[in-house]
A and B are shown apart, each in its own frame.
Chain A
């Protein structure tokens, strides 16, 4: 049985009784959407969730907005279709069992709303990271944290003034001479430069689809 809640980026599409090992749900290698054995080429366009991105060279930082859910979508109330009279039998797929883990719905909903995790990938970096957009009040600190996350792979060169919403902070790969700027794909599918839209707008994080540091 497949997990009804599995989103496209969720690796738990085949759920068995045994928990997936922790490593399976840890950082992924390579480009998103390409599985674990993909290369880390710096030139390929990002293919995220099957959608082709524009062919900007030299970088890929893709952020999938996992709107409103850290991992899986909420179970509808009264959903008992998967609930066997499985007395004494362990559940076939743990996550399909109504009411397990025993957490109040109000808490589940609140957790949904405080989690706006997005995946961040940089072309050439060996693994993706995740950041919670809810934790930021403006761009500067988001960019700063993204730089810190990837600082092991790249040198960082700051660019522009500090006060402006439009500050651009560029990751620079000293060896290859390529620069990275933050971008994101909005809901129309266009690649936008991070910083044009004011951050301090509660709706902002809903506009993120992908964020590329390119």
Chain B
């Protein structure tokens, strides 16, 4: 007797399958499963907004409730992609509104978001709950006002590092008195003043508020009042943290902070008075995440003393003014550390970074659980990297940036090939890698050989010949994103295995040796790859000589036609 599992049962089983990868796999088993999966799918992740169209998305997943959408390529973060390149939210919102999609959550990264699309969003989806914008641009506080005013069930408004035109309006006051559902509010990236009284009232009527990140305009005495209202917070981002430590307001803050026993995550300190850090000490032992990467005024003893209280830290973001010695303090205090990010206090790179390979070695020795690193440093040595690889075999993300991008090992004057080679050989689970320093083709040989799980690789000013790029393309089977700038990789490397690019999300190559002719060949051979040539935004003319080197090329796989919103300075082959 054959047992037939009814569709409803299968659907119920699929409810337990939540990861995108697994759901994608499940949908490939058979037509029946494809159908069941697509109707039951609520969460979709789209890593490149031009790989699919809104209409196709809606057609396949009519039950869509939660969408993550990414727009511009990663190197747009570093001004390598002109404004107006693309990544517009508008067509997506329009399509969702038109087709009555029950959108509840929207998470966007590197997209261009207009006030109009925010307003349409706020009015079209009754159950809209969560808006997370990361590194987006194109909107003003007017758009935020619409979200505040119209999204009756809003739980989360999380703005991370966006470029927002702050009209200094009363967007915060637009949350109606009936809005009591807020769980998470992050407006740290806004530059302008906000209505402090409205903020206090909002926090007072939000009993579920767990995460609150303020902007620079919120002074310390307001912070104290907010903490009094919301001692249940899990995540706090301070505004301006400057006050007179002998004042009444500061003493009240100390008392209020002590009551916030649930805070596990602390950030902000956009302006900071080192003398006021003592108020934080009572909650330091509970912290698992501490972000001091904007606290330029905090260094030396004030900084290390604070860190010494934080023995449960799992994630730490700091500035390089902590110095190698300060990293030693981190190493001896933060034994649970998993993620470390050390940012340059001089982000224009004209000066010196205050950390070297020594700090990293100390960290690796003291923090064996370390699995994620972003490290801007003055210099790096092979010996240090080899030691780090031995001490910390669990790296999933390893991003190193020497301020001088082609700096060799200062002790031996050799390239850093062996050091990075040790990292990829030791860290079998490495998924993301960024290289810097003097590097030859050899490092790519190692990467191709050992980095079996590598999904994203960022290369700058490295390599000697096409062989370097070929080692990577041939070796890294799981590679999804490859971004290369200022490397001597050319046509031979680009064209050797054109099929490879359909297994990847995207390839970026700028200031390399690739010519127009080769790009045309690639586009011809692979119709499902979009090959974009990008000029500077004031340069509409393309040099039509096939032998001309291409300044910026961005290619990505796509199941739809050419995008129609490309500006004049983008040529899609």
Give the interface of A toward B (CB within 8 A): 3, 5-6, 10, 12, 15, 17-20, 22, 25, 69-75, 77-78, 80, 83-91, 94-95, 97-108, 110-111, 113-115, 132, 134-138, 140-141
B347 near A134: Cβ-Cβ < 8 Å? no
Shortest C-beta distance, B216 to chain A (Å), equals 7
B162 near A106: Cβ-Cβ < 8 Å? yes
* Binding site secondary structure of chain A: loop
CA A100 – CA B189 in complex, angstroms?
22
| Chain A CB within 8 A of B200 CB | no
B350 near A90: Cβ-Cβ < 8 Å? no
B342-390 residues at the A interface, CB under 8 angstroms: 343-352, 376, 378
A-B contact pairs, 18 of them (CB 8 A): A19-B403, A71-B346, A71-B348, A71-B351, A78-B83, A86-B511, A87-B511, A88-B513, A90-B461, A91-B486, A94-B405, A99-B485, A106-B162, A110-B294, A114-B270, A134-B272, A138-B244, A141-B273
A110 near B512: Cβ-Cβ < 8 Å? no
Find the A residue at minimum CB distance from B438: A90
- A86 contact from B135, B161, B273, B486, Cβ within 8 A: B486
Per-position 1/0 for B289-308, Cβ under 8 A of A:
00001111110000000000
CA A18 – CA B461 in complex, angstroms?
15
Known: A70-B296, A87-B549, A137-B242. A100 touches B346 (CB 8 A): no
A100 near B407: Cβ-Cβ < 8 Å? no
Chain A residues closer than 8 Å to B455, beta-carbon distance? none
B296 near A101: Cβ-Cβ < 8 Å? no
Chain B residues closer than 8 Å to A91, beta-carbon distance? 405-406, 461, 486
| Chain A CB within 8 A of B500 CB | no
The 4 A-B residue pairs whose C-beta atoms are closest, nearest first, are A88-B488, A99-B78, A135-B297, A90-B406
Chain A residues closer than 8 Å to B538, beta-carbon distance? 78
CA A141 – CA B302 in complex, angstroms?
15
Chain B residues closer than 8 Å to A70, beta-carbon distance? 296, 345-346, 351
| Chain A CB within 8 A of B404 CB | yes
B294 near A77: Cβ-Cβ < 8 Å? no
A101 near B406: Cβ-Cβ < 8 Å? no
B405 near A98: Cβ-Cβ < 8 Å? no
CA A18 – CA B405 in complex, angstroms?
11
Shortest C-beta distance, B375 to chain A (Å), equals 11
B511 near A72: Cβ-Cβ < 8 Å? no
B480-512 residues at the A interface, CB under 8 angstroms: 485-489, 511-512
Chain B residues closer than 8 Å to A105, beta-carbon distance? 77-79, 163
Per-position 1/0 for B172-191, Cβ under 8 A of A:
00000000000000000100
CA A71 – CA B274 in complex, angstroms?
22
A102 near B401: Cβ-Cβ < 8 Å? yes
CA A73 – CA B346 in complex, angstroms?
11
B55-79 residues at the A interface, CB under 8 angstroms: 75, 77-79
Chain A residues closer than 8 Å to B293, beta-carbon distance? 107
| Chain A CB within 8 A of B243 CB | yes
B78 near A114: Cβ-Cβ < 8 Å? no
Shortest C-beta distance, B22 to chain A (Å), equals 32
Chain A residues closer than 8 Å to B216, beta-carbon distance? 113
Shortest C-beta distance, A101 to chain B (Å), equals 5
- B348 contact from A75, A77, A138, Cβ within 8 A: A75
B interface residue count range (under 10 / 10 to 19 / 20 to 34 / 35 or more): 35 or more
CA A75 – CA B485 in complex, angstroms?
19
B270 near A12: Cβ-Cβ < 8 Å? no
A104 near B161: Cβ-Cβ < 8 Å? yes
CA A163 – CA B419 in complex, angstroms?
58
| Chain A CB within 8 A of B560 CB | no
CA A180 – CA B275 in complex, angstroms?
25
A95 near B349: Cβ-Cβ < 8 Å? yes
- B296 contact from A88, A132, A137, Cβ within 8 A: A132
Per-position 1/0 for B458-495, Cβ under 8 A of A:
10110110000000000000000000011111000000
A19 near B404: Cβ-Cβ < 8 Å? yes
CA A101 – CA B351 in complex, angstroms?
11
Chain B residues closer than 8 Å to A94, beta-carbon distance? 349, 403-405
Shortest C-beta distance, A195 to chain B (Å), equals 15
Per-position 1/0 for B395-426, Cβ under 8 A of A:
00000010111110000000000000000000
B487 near A111: Cβ-Cβ < 8 Å? no
Known: A105-B77, A135-B273, A138-B244. A19 touches B407 (CB 8 A): yes
| Chain A CB within 8 A of B99 CB | no
CA A137 – CA B83 in complex, angstroms?
38
B352 near A20: Cβ-Cβ < 8 Å? yes
CA A22 – CA B403 in complex, angstroms?
13
Known: A88-B488, A99-B78, A113-B216. A107 touches B407 (CB 8 A): no
Find the A residue at minimum CB distance from B401: A101
- A106 contact from B161, B296, B346, Cβ within 8 A: B161
| Chain A CB within 8 A of B82 CB | yes
| Chain A CB within 8 A of B271 CB | yes
B350 near A114: Cβ-Cβ < 8 Å? no
| Chain A CB within 8 A of B551 CB | yes
- Besides the known contacts A5-B348, A70-B296, A132-B296, 20 further A-B residue pairs in the complex with CB atoms under 8 A apart: A70-B345, A70-B351, A87-B487, A87-B488, A87-B489, A89-B486, A90-B406, A98-B80, A102-B77, A103-B376, A104-B161, A111-B294, A111-B345, A114-B271, A114-B294, A114-B297, A134-B271, A134-B296, A135-B242, A135-B298
